[in-house]
Structure 1
Amino acid sequence: MSKKILVVEDDPVQQKHICNVLGSIDAEIVLAANGQQGISMAQQEQPDLILMDIVMPEVDGFSACRQITSDSATKNIPVVMVSSKNQDADKVWAQLQGATTVVGKPFTEQELLAQVSALI
């Protein structure tokens, strides 16, 4: 059975890039365009992994991550923040919100796939 990955990204170009990279692995990809959709999709779809941007309108990635990792229905789903906000302080804050790790943009295909394979 293939794994399910939720990609939460508001930028269509970045979303397509992430999906293209994930195309090389056997996984079903579901998409959300903002943090609020990401929270709803996490509850509905119960993905094996969530890749989440930080800078998004309405609900940002930090807040969405915190809600997902503190909800009993979704708390065991690993969340990888994929963002240009990848300073040490951002990484620490992401982990405090429940994120498993942070992949900085721009990322290489190998960087992203290494994190994905380690978690699913």
Structure 2
Amino acid sequence: MLQTDKQVCVLEDDPLMLEHLAGMVRELGFEPLPAGTVDEALSLVRRHSPWAAVIDILMPDKDGLNFIMELGPDRPERVVAISGGGRLGAGAVLQMAKGLGADATVVKPVRLEDLRQALEP
């Protein structure tokens, strides 16, 4: 069962997709902490210690894999990696994220039910 008193960092470089994902997180009963860059997301995680993070993997500068590797002791309890995969396809990219420590993966376009399942421990 999802809890309504937990924060979720949402990392996505596309502003419209970030807004959409934050809305989905809110609809699931969490408080979203939106971030458009890895550095912004890491700062939010260090300041707020959110319960979970939903992170896009493929981004122009630093990507979601960098985010996972740079978390260190500030790692949220749950890390959900999302990707459409670009030219590599989502499977390979999300498999790399799992190998680096993501707890769950979701293929874009993200459906609410897939996100709900990914955020369940």
TM value normalised by structure 2: 0.84
Alignment of 1:54-93 (within 5 A): 54-68=57-71, 71-72=72-73, 74-85=74-85, 87-93=90-96
Give 4+ residue runs of structure 1 displaced > 4 Å after superposition.
none
Change (3 A) 1:76 1:15: closer
**Secondary structure in structure 2 of the residue aligned to 1:106:** coil
Tell me how far 1:32 sits from its aligned partner: 0.8
Q: Which of 4, 9, 30 is the aligned partner of 2:12? A: 9
CA distance in 2, matches of 1:29, 1:23: 6
Q: Which moved more, 1:15-24 or 1:45-54?
A: 15-24
Q: Which of 88, 97, 104 is the aligned partner of 1:94? A: 97
Tell me how far 1:76 sits from its aligned partner: 4.8
**Secondary structure in structure 1 of the residue aligned to 2:27:** coil
**Secondary structure in structure 1 of the residue aligned to 2:75:** coil
TM value normalised by structure 1: 0.85
CA distance in 1, matches of 2:103, 2:22: 20
AA at the equivalent of 1:12: P
Q: Does 1:40 align with 2:55?
A: no
Tell me how far 1:15 sits from its aligned partner: 0.9
Q: Which moved more, 1:83-92 or 1:3-12?
A: 83-92
Q: Which moved more, 1:54-63 or 1:2-11?
A: 54-63
The count of residues paired between Structure 1 and Structure 2 equals 115
- Say what the alpha-carbon RMSD is for the aligned residues: 1.7
Percentage of pairs with the same residue: 24
AA at the equivalent of 2:107: G
Q: Which of 21, 27, 37 is the aligned partner of 1:18? A: 21
For structure 1, the residue ranges without an aligned partner over 5 or more in a row are none
CA distance in 1, matches of 2:103, 2:95: 11
